[in-house]
Amino acid sequence: KNRYEIAVVQGDGIGPEVCGAGLAVMRAALGGDGILNFSEYRAGANCYRDTGTAFPAATYDACKAADAIFHGAAGIPGVTYPDGTEAGLDFGLQLRFRLDLFANIRPVKLHPGVSSPLSDAARTGIDYVILRENTEGFYAARGGGNLVRDDIASDTGIITRAGTERVVRKAFELSRLRNGALRDGRRRVTVCDKANVLRSLAFFRKVAQEVANDYPDIELDFALVDAMTVHLVRKPDFYDVIVTENMFGDIISDLGAATVGGMGMSPTAEIGDRNGFFQAAHGSAPDIAGQGIANPYGTILSAAMMLDWLGDRHGDARLTEGAERVRAAVAGCLTDGNLPGDLGGNARSDRITEDLCDRLAVMA
């Protein structure tokens, strides 16, 4: 393939700002628009307010047909459905289910130049991946929960064998690709669950144990999710790949992000067998929207994940090399102290983007 179609949704709040930064950096990394063709579509809370739907059919069709989907951030608190849940979130959530984007990959990495609230982190480093199952668990009940009478509500969590097998397999494959990223050169997959209390999660663990038999070169480890929150604070350098069900993954990935600079440093790739969806794990931060101070690094690192995924999939080195350059530019920029407010600096988003583009212009 010579040219790839990217469906772009800017979204709400800071979405357009961080999305624009991501697009500018990709263009700089690839020398213009020749390789990627970006087309914009609407979705999210503002779209719901204007049109009555958060995820228009035309946007879905374009996302499905595209080679990849790139997103800023969606949702505005208070823009809700009659049941009280947020309308804007339907874009990302429905994409996950309808395109079967089962693997939500969230690298947790402490970058040079960024400080961690964990006192030992500068010495030990933090560099692991949370693989969040993205189509099952409680999230599968979205929109379908039961409101029973006036005083009780329930949502049912689903864990299937097929859904667990494929995500756990992916975890082992990710660990192999990381090629012994732990300091002692070891590989380890940690299964994070609540097998001591809930049947569905004991089942998740049992299926994971079965899959692990196919990967004798990788250490298998287990952690209950409550204990996991302690481990991620006390010994983050112990972890290589952590695989977990949907909602646990949502929660522990925010905790992980907090240890490496906060939600502004939380890139994400959500992939299935055919489609890939790329956005930072943070929300739309309406409180700082439009001020030009949002941290664009998470979205920019998500763009690098997109280039990597596309490049690997199509055997296109132009893209994987572009991803490398983006990461090198980010590392240089952070090391030189070009930090936005949430990382303790005062760099505006466009100054960071320009700095990255200048570095990329020299590299290309």
d(C-alpha 347, C-alpha 358), whole Å:
16
| Marked catalytic residue, from 48, 60, 128, 139 | 139
Residues numbered 278 to 297 that lie near ligand IPM (CB under 6 A) are 281
Of 250 and 308, nearer to Mn ion (C-beta) is 250
CA separation for the pair 204, 96 (Å, rounded): 20
Residue showing tokens 């049912």: 156
In the set 48, 60, 90, 194, the catalytic residue is 194
State in Å, rounded, how far the first CA of the chain is from the last one. 21
C-alpha separations of 120 from 7, 237, 259 in Å:
41, 10, 11
Sites for ligand IPM among residues 47-86 (CB under 6 A): 75
- The stretch near Mn ion (CB under 5 A) out of 181-189, 223-231, 242-250, 345-353 is 242-250
| Residue 70, φ and ψ in degrees, nearest 5 | -120, 135
Contact at 8 Å (CB) between 41 and 63? yes
Each residue 218-257 as x (binds ligand IPM by CB under 6 A) or -, in order, gives: --------------------------------x-------
User: How many residues lie near ligand IPM (CB under 6 A)?
Assistant: 6
C-beta closer to ligand IPM: residue 302 or 338: 302
Residue 47 interaction partner, one of ligand IPM, Mn ion, none, beta carbon < 5-8 Å per kind: none
Active-site option among 33, 214, 226, 273:
226
Helix (H, G, I), strand (E, B) or coil at 2: coil
Residues 6+ apart with CB under 8 A from 257: 106, 108, 263, 265, 266, 281, 282
Q: What character string, x for contact with Mn ion (CB under 5 A) and - otherwise, covers 249-268?
A: -x------------------
Task: Give the residues lining the site for ligand IPM (CB under 6 A).
Answer: 75, 89, 92-93, 250, 281
Active site (catalytic) residues? 139, 194, 226, 250, 254
